[in-house]
Amino acid sequence: MAAQQPPDDGPADDRPPEPPAEEPAGEYLAVDEPLLPPRAHRPSDLLRFLAGLLGIIAVFVLAQVAVSTTTGIENDITVNAKRIPGVLSTIAALVSSIAVLAVPLAFAVERLIKRDGLRVADGVLASVLAYGVSLGVDWWVAASAPDAIRNALTQFPPGGGETLTDPVHGYLAPVIAYMTAVGMSSRPRWRVALWVVVILSGATELISGYTTPLSLLLTVLIGWSVAYGTLYAIGSPNIRPTGQHLMIGLRKVGFVPSAAHLAPDAPGGTRRYLVTQQHGPLLDVHVIDREQQASGFFYRAWRRLRLRSVAVRRSPQSLRQALEQEALIAYAAAASGARAPQLVATSELGPDAAILVYENVAGRTLDELDAEEITDAVMASFWESVATLHERRIAHRRLTGESLLAVDDKTGCLVNLSGGDIAAGDLTLRIDVAQLLTTFALRIGPERAVAVATTVLGPTRVAEALPLLQPVGLSRQTRADLQRMTKERKAAAQALALEQVAAGERTQQQAEEDIAQAGEDLLSKIRGQILAIVPEAPMAPAKLERLKPKTLIMVVALTFAAYLALTTIRPDQFKVSQMNWGWAALALAASAVSYVAASMSLTGFVPERLPFGRTVAAQLAGSFVKLVAPAAVGGIALNTRYLQRAGIRPVQAVASVGASQLAGLGGHLLLLFSFGLITGTQTNGDLGASRAVIIGVLTAAVLALVVAAVAPLRRFVVTRVRSLFFGVIPRMLDLMQTPRKLVTGFGGILLLTLSFTACLDASVQAFGGGHVTFAAVAVVFLTANAAGSAIPTPGGIGPVEIALITALTVAGVPATAATPAVFLYRLLTFWLPVLPGWVAYNVLQRKGAI
C-alpha cells in the first residue's frame, strides 16, 4: 500500500492542495465532472452552535440560582485587584486594547494576500451578527431580566458611576466571532496570539471592575455560538478536492492517468471516479473526505443511541481511520476468496481527503436490472461470496441493490465493502443474511429469494436469520422500499376492490380480505417461506433495540407534561378559596362519565363484542397519548390499534373508528345547531353564543370553498373521504342489523358531549358564573373546543384554553370567573387523567391489548 503523508512544515491550509511545480507544463488531463458547490453545510458547525446555546442558557441559569457564589467571586476579585499596581493595570489595558484589534486585522491582511477573501468575509459577517446579538442581550438584561441575572452580569463601575457596566462586551464578542469564523483553529500561532490578547483584555476589564466573571463567560459563548451559527447558515468554503487533484494524487502513487469522469456515488456519499490510464486497465477510484464523513451524522447518532452496538457499525473518528478501515476490509475480502474488486493502492490528498484505487469491474447493479434479468445463478453467486466472507467472520453490512454488481447472468461481485466489519459476531452475520434475503425478495418475491438462499447456505443458516427479519435491523433504503411497496400494493388492491364491488364481481367481505392480504408486509411473507421449509425455526425477534421510540416518547411526554403543568397551571389562577367545592365535585364526576361515554361511542360502532372494562381503560390510556399527538389524532390511532389487537381485521378496525368519528362529527354539528337555537330562543337571539354559531357555520363554509378551489387539497380530501366511505358505509349497514349497537354508539356520542359540557358548566358555576345557561355553555364548548383543537398542538394545549376563555367571556361570563373555570375544566379533563392514563397504557401494553 502506497500512502502519501501530509507535510510537516507548518499548519494545514483550508484550501485544496495546489498542483506541484514539477507537473509537465501544458499537459491536459481531461476530467468530466460537475462543478462542486462553493460552500458546504457541516453538521459539526451546527453541533458547536447548539453547544454554545446550551452554554449561554447555563450561564443565565447559574446567574439565577448561584447568587451567593457569583457575588462571592466578584467580591474576592475586587479585594485582590487592589493589590495589583495601577501602572501595571493601565499598561496591560492599553496593550490589550490595541492588540485585540491589531491581531485580527493582521490576520485578515495575511488571508487576503493568499487570496482567501471568503474566510475574511465570513469573519466580518459573524462579527457584525455577534455585535447585534450583544446589543440585544444588553437591552434585555437592562430592561426586563430578573434582578439576579442583572446583578450577576453587571455592576457599578469603580469611582461611583451611576451607569451599570455592559452585560456583554461590545468589542470582545465580535472579535471572538471573527477569529472563530475565519478558521484560526487550524493555525496554531495565530490562534494562540489572539487568545492571549483576548484573555489579557478580559483580565484587565475584570481587574479594573468593568465586568464580572459571568459576563466574560457569556461574551465568549456568544461570540463562539454566533460564529458557528453563521458558518452553518451560509456554509463553509468547500475544501473537497476536484478531479484534477485526484489525477495528481494518482501520479504520485505510480499511475499514469489520461482522463476521468465522475461515477455514481457509493453508499455513504463517497465520490467515485472512473479513471482511464495511458497504459493499463480502467480504475475505480473512491474519494473520502471530511465533508462526506460529516454527512448523515445525526442519523448515525440516532441509530447508535437506539440500537445495540452489534446492529450498528461504529463510524471512524478521523479520515486516517476511515482510510485504514476500508483498506483493511478490502484486503480481507480479497484474501477470503470472495468475488470483490481488488484494492491496488491508497493515498492521501492533503489533510482533508484520501483515495482508494480499485480495479474496475464491469457490470450492472441489482437496482439497474429488470426483474426478469435476475437469474437464480447470479443470486447464487452473490450468496456464495457472502458465505465465503462469513466463513472468515467478515460482515458486509450493506447488502442492498447498489452493492450487488452482476457481471453477467451467472456471476455476481460484491462491491461497497467500506461499511463492513472483520471479526464479526454471529448476530452481525445473521443480519447480513436477513438483509440480502429482503433485498432479493423486494425484486423477485419471497419464494425465489428463500429458495436460492436455502440451496446455497442450507436451511439451518437461513432459519437462523428469521429473528433478524425486522425493519429496525435493515438499511434505511430497504426500510423505505418496504414501506413504499406495502403502501402501493394496498392502494392498488383498494382501487381494484372498489371497482370489483361496484361491478358486483366480489362481495364486500371478499374485497376486505383482498385488501388485508395485500397489506401484509413482505417480511412476514419471508418468514412464512422460511417456516414452510424449517418449521422449527426460532420465531422470537432478536433484541436489536437499546432504546425503543415508544420509550423515548413516553419519557418526553412525561417531561413535557410536568413542564406544562408547572408553567401553565398556577394555584393563584384557581382561586381555591372562592371555589364552590360541591360544583367542583360535580365537574369531577362529569369528567369521569366522559370515559364511559367514549367507550360506548366506540363499542356501538363495532359489531363484534368488546370487553367494556378494557375499552374504558383504552379510552383512559388515550388521555396520556394526547400529550404527544395533536388533539383527536392520538385517540384515533390508539382506538384503531386497540380494535386490531382485539381480533378485528385492520380494514374493519379502521372502518369502525372512521364510522365513530363520522357519527361524532354529525352529532357535534347537530348538537351545536340545536343548542344554538335554544340559546337564541332563550335570549331573543341576542347572545354571543348565537354569534358563535354563525361564525362557526361561516368558517366551515369558507374552509369548504378553499378546499374545493385548491386542487391539491381537493384531491387529498377526496382520496381520504372515498377511502373512508369505502369502509364506513358497509360497516354502518352491518350495524343497521343490530339497532342496539346503534343506540349504544349514538347514545355514547350524545353522553360524551353532554358530560364535557356538564363539566365545563359545573366549573363555571364553581366560580360564580351562575347566570349563564347550560345551553349557552354547550354552544361555547362545541365551538371553542373545536376551534382550539384545529391547531395541531399536543392535546390542544394553549389554543383550547384561549378559545374557551374567549368564548365564555363573549357569552357574558366575567373574565375573573372564566379563567379559573377553564383551568379547572382542563385540570379535570386533561391533566388529572394523565397519570392513570399512563398506568392504563402500560397495563394494556403488557396484556397485548394495544
pLDDT in tens, 762-806: 888 888 776 777 888 888 787 776 665 555 555 666 677 777 887
Kindly indicate the confidence band of residue 21, based on its pLDDT and cuts at 50, 70 and 90: very low
Helices (H) and strands (E) in the chain, counts: 32, 11
Edge-to-edge strand list for the sheet holding 412-414: 364-365, 404-406, 412-414
Neighbours of 748 (CB within 10 A): 24
Q: Spell out the residues 6+ positions from residue 793 whose beta carbon is closer than 8 angstroms to its own.
A: 630, 631, 799
Size of the chain in residues? 850
Backbone region of residue 259 per phi and psi (left: phi > 0; alpha: psi in -120 to 50; beta: other values): beta
Backbone angles phi, psi at 413, to 5 degrees: -130, 135
For the entire predicted model, the pTM comes to: 0.57
What is the DSSP pairing of strand 30-32 with strand 257-266? parallel
271: pLDDT strictly greater than 60: yes
Contact between residue 365 and residue 477 where contact means Cβ atoms under 8 Å apart: no
pLDDT tier for residue 632 given thresholds of 50, 70 and 90: very low
Report residue 178's pLDDT band, with 50, 70 and 90 as the boundaries.
confident
276, β-bridge pairs = 259
546 pLDDT more than 80? no
Task: Give the N- to C-terminal CA distance of the chain in Å, as an integer.
Answer: 57
10 Å Cβ neighbour count for 247?
23
| DSSP conformational letter for 445 | -
Q: Are 329 and 422 in contact (CB under 8 A)?
A: yes
Q: Evaluate whether 201 touches 97 at the Cβ level (below 8 Å).
A: yes
Tell me the one-letter amino acid at 416.
N
Q: Residues 129, 130, 131, 134: is their CA dihedral positive or negative?
A: positive
- Residues sharing a CB contact under 8 Å with residue 140, sequence separation 6 or more, in sequence order: none
Supply the angle between the helices 581-603 and 815-826 in degrees, to the nearest 10.
50
Q: What is the DSSP letter of 288?
A: E
C-alpha cell at 703: 374552509
Q: Where does residue 299 rank: exposed (0-12), middle (13-18), buried (19+ CB within 10 A)?
A: exposed
Tell me what pLDDT residue 732 has.
Answer: 62
Alpha helices (H) in 711-792, listed in sequence order: 711-736, 739-766, 774-789
Confidence of residue 340 (pLDDT cuts 50, 70, 90): very high
pLDDT at position 831 is: 82
| Cα 138 from Cα 211, distance rounded (Å) | 13
| The pLDDT of residue 390 is above 90 | yes
**Residues near 22 by beta carbon (within 8 Å), at least 6 away in sequence:** none
CB 296 within 8 A of CB 419: no
- Indicate the DSSP class of residue 209: T
Mean pLDDT of 96-106: 71
Residues 6+ apart with CB under 8 A from 227: 123, 126, 130, 176, 177, 178, 180, 181
**% helix, strand, coil for the chain, step of 5:** 65, 5, 25
Task: Return the higher-pLDDT residue of 248 and 20.
Answer: 248
42 SS3 class: coil
Residues 546, 308: Cα–Cα separation, whole Å: 5
Query: Is residue 485 within 8 Å of residue 511, measured between CB atoms?
Result: no
Amino acid at 838: W
Residues 35, 262 contacting (CB under 8 angstroms)? no
**For residues 811 and 818, what is the distance between their CA atoms, to the nearest angstrom?**
10
Is pLDDT above 90 for 355? no
| Among the listed residues 575, 553, 554, 556, the one whose alpha carbon sits nearest the alpha carbon of residue 564 | 556
The residues, ordered by sequence, that sit 6+ positions from 258 with a Cβ below 8 Å of its Cβ are 29, 30, 276, 277, 278
Cell readout for 709 is: 378551489
CB atoms under 10 Å from CB of 480, counted, come to 11
Question: How far apart are the C-alpha atoms of 454 and 462, rounded to whole Å?
Answer: 6
Q: Which residue has the higher pLDDT, 618 or 565?
A: 618
Cell numbers describing residue 195? 487568545
C-alpha span between 166 and 211 (Å, rounded): 7
Give kind and range of the element (H or E) at residue 155. none
**pLDDT-wise least confident of 108-122, 174-188, 779-793:** 779-793
pLDDT of residue 453: 94
In degrees and rounded to multiples of 5, residue 198 shows phi and psi of -65, -45
Residue with more model confidence, 838 or 797: 838
Q: By the 8 A CB rule, do 153 and 196 touch?
A: no
- List of E strands, 112-266: 236-237, 257-266
Tens-place pLDDT, residues 201-253: 777 777 676 677 888 888 889 988 999 898 888 877 666 777 777 888 888 88
Q: Quick one: 62 exposed, middle or buried, by C-beta within 10 A (0-12, 13-18, 19+)?
A: middle
Looking at per-residue pLDDT, the higher value among 340 and 653 belongs to 340
- Residue 760 Cα to chain centre, angstroms: 37
Contacts 24+ apart (CB under 8 A), 684-692: 687/776, 687/811, 687/812, 688/807, 688/810, 688/811, 688/812, 689/775, 689/776, 689/779, 689/780, 689/783, 689/807, 689/810, 689/811, 690/779, 691/810, 692/779, 692/780, 692/783, 692/784, 692/807, 692/810, 692/811
Query: What strands, in cross-sheet order, belong to the sheet with 343-348?
Result: 30-32, 257-266, 270-277, 283-289, 353-359, 343-348
Give the confidence band of 144 by pLDDT, cuts at 50, 70, 90.
confident
Q: Is pLDDT above 70 for 312?
A: no
Determine the pLDDT at residue 411.
92
Single-letter code of the amino acid located at 848: G
pLDDT at 605 exceeding the cut of 70: yes
Alpha carbons within 13 angstroms on the beta-carbon side of residue 69 total: 9
**Better-predicted residue by pLDDT, 23 or 59:** 59
Catalogue the E-assigned strands of 27-121.
Answer: 30-32, 39-40
The pLDDT value given to residue 2 = 38
Q: Which residues contact 259 (CB under 8 A, 6 or more apart)?
A: 29, 30, 31, 32, 275, 276
What is the Cα–Cα distance from 735 to 741, expressed in whole angstroms? 7
DSSP character for 325? Answer: H
CB 401 within 8 A of CB 367: yes
Q: What is the CA radius of gyration of the chain?
A: 35
Contact indicator for 417, 340 with CB cutoff of 8 Å: yes
- pLDDT tens for residues 282-307? 899 988 876 666 566 666 676 777 77
Helices 774-789 and 799-810, axial angle in degrees (round to 10): 150
DSSP assigned state of 831: I
Task: Provide the mean pLDDT of the chain.
Answer: 76
Max Cα separation, the chain?
102
